[in-house]
């Protein structure tokens, strides 16, 4: 049955309170500072000039997924909706709690893009306050200085830059294009991008250089196409699989045969489960100009007759044979193709903000609801006031997510 999926722990009136402001501190470098330092919350924008009388939305960063996703979603929506936020207990459940370089880079980028003011943006901090300003077009650079995921930086900033006031927006992102615990840049380009375009979200994503764990060194140019509105969308009909594409690559001292081994192992497994569908594969040896350091990986995409796109990926590592890396990517794709879901588990939570911002009702058929999706729904409901409904599909693990968006515009 259809039920209201309201994950808010309390009403908006219970989640807001006024906070005192402290004196300014001296400006620090990208990763400098200490946990006792506090940044001035003096506003750079007319609307937030008198910040001392604004209600700050309080967010518990340890709830549900309890990781960096809460911060990314909260910062993006705060930026768009001009709602100041105070996030506490950031990554409290992780082995190394608090802000890591990747999270610092993402939240500082959002703050810079909207000329906002940020407090607590120092390594290890579990508490930040953000007062947004006005989104300003320009050329921005964000460098994690590690192998921190560029894809997660894109997830954080893209909702903001879609609503810039003109087309003069370009962002240079540096870090890991192929990082652990995050989709590779290939996923953003081959799966998220074409699916998001069906909601009117358009952007270019140019890979200048790949960077692998643990050194990073990758570089990507993100250029949003400013439309100023998100269209409502429906992904409800899976259709039939029409083609599968495998792309595997190696860089540095990793020989090209590793690419062939990953692709062959993936192809052999997929052919046992996907009948009468062409499976293409492409093996690539990346040059020194195309990749920094040593690394390998594989990306597999499947397309259907209705335009649905699914992805499976894996990064090579020292402990596993290359054949296992190929099979891992194939198994991830096959899990997504089970049932009648129209999106894979990685795309599922990335669509939540778009559904809330869209003009009209959006509907998506998914597989099991992931913890990341539950977290995205919680934060999005808290900041936008929308409500998500989830309906389970009888006799299956599939679900239908519905949301009547706020029709956000510039």
* Tokens found for residue 118: 């940020």
Are 119 and 20 in contact by the 8 Å Cβ rule? The answer is no
Of 103, 346, 372, 399, the catalytic one is 372
Are 110 and 156 in contact by the 8 Å Cβ rule? The answer is yes
* Tokens found for residue 387: 């409500």
Q: For residues 398 and 377, give the distance between their C-alpha atoms in angstroms, rounded to a whole number.
A: 17
Farthest CA pair distance, the chain: 68
Are 153 and 105 in contact by the 8 Å Cβ rule? The answer is yes
The residue among 149, 114, 125, 95 whose CA lies nearest residue 28 is 125
Residue-wise DSSP of 320-386:
S-HHHHHHHHHHHHHHHHSTT-SS-HHHHHHHHHHHHHSBSEEEEEESSPPHHHHHHHHHHHHHH--
Give the ranges where 298-344 is alpha helix by DSSP (H): 322-337
**372 included as an active-site residue:** yes
Q: For residues 228 and 249, give the distance between their C-alpha atoms in angstroms, rounded to a whole number.
A: 37
Q: For residues 156 and 289, give the distance between their C-alpha atoms in angstroms, rounded to a whole number.
A: 27
The pairing of strands 388-392 and 3-5 is: antiparallel
Q: For residues 89 and 86, give the distance between their C-alpha atoms in angstroms, rounded to a whole number.
A: 10
Give residues with Cβ within 8 angstroms of 325, minimum separation 6. Answer: 262, 265, 296, 297, 298, 314, 315, 316, 317
Q: For residues 23 and 123, give the distance between their C-alpha atoms in angstroms, rounded to a whole number.
A: 20
Q: How many CB atoms lie within 10 A of CB 287?
A: 9
* Tokens found for residue 232: 């409502």
* Tokens found for residue 43: 């506003």
Catalytic residues: 372
């Amino acid at each position: 049955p259809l039920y209201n999926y309201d994950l808010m722990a309390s009403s908006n009136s219970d989640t807001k309170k006024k906070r005192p402001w402290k004196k300014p501190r001296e400006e620090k470098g990208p990763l400098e500072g200490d946990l006792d330092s506090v940044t001035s919350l003096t506003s750079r924008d007319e609307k937030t000039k008198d910040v001392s009388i604004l209600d700050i939305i309080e967010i518990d960063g340890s709830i549900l997924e309890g990781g960096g996703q809460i911060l990314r979603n909260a910062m993006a929506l705060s930026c768009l909706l001009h709602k100041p936020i105070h996030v506490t207990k950031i990554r409290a459940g992780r082995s190394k709690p608090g802000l890591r370089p990747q999270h610092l880079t993402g939240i500082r980028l959002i703050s810079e893009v909207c000329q906002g003011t940020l407090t607590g943006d120092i390594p290890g901090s579990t508490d930040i306050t953000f007062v947004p300003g006005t989104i300003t077009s320009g050329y921005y650079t964000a460098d994690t200085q590690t192998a921190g995921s560029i894809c997660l930086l894109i997830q954080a900033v893209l909702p903001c830059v879609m609503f810039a006031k003109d087309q003069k927006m370009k962002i240079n992102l540096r870090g890991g294009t192929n990082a652990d615990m995050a989709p590779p840049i290939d996923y953003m380009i081959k799966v998220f991008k074409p699916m998001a375009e069906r909601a009117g979200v358009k952007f270019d994503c140019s890979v200048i250089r790949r960077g692998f764990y643990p050194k990073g060194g990758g570089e990507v140019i993100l250029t949003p196409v400013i439309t100023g509105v998100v269209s409502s969308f429906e992904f409800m009909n899976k259709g039939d699989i029409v083609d599968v594409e495998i792309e595997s690559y190696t860089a540095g001292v990793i020989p090209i045969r590793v690419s062939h081994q990953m692709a062959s192992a993936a192809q052999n497994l997929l052919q046992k489960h996907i009948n009468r569908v062409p499976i293409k594969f492409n093996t690539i040896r990346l040059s020194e100009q195309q990749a920094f350091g040593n690394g390998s990986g594989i990306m597999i995409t499947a397309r259907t007759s209705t335009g649905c796109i699914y992805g499976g990926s894996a990064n090579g590592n020292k402990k596993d044979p290359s054949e296992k890396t190929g099979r891992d990517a194939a198994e991830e794709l096959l899990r997504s193709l089970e049932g009648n879901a129209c999106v894979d588990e990685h795309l599922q939570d990335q669509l939540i903000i778009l559904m809330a911002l869209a003009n009209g009702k959006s509907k998506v058929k998914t597989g099991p609801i992931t913890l990341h999706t539950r977290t995205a729904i919680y934060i999005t409901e808290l900041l936008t006031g929308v409500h998500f409904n989830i309906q389970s599909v009888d006799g299956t693990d599939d679900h239908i997510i519905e949301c009547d968006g706020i029709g956000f515009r510039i």
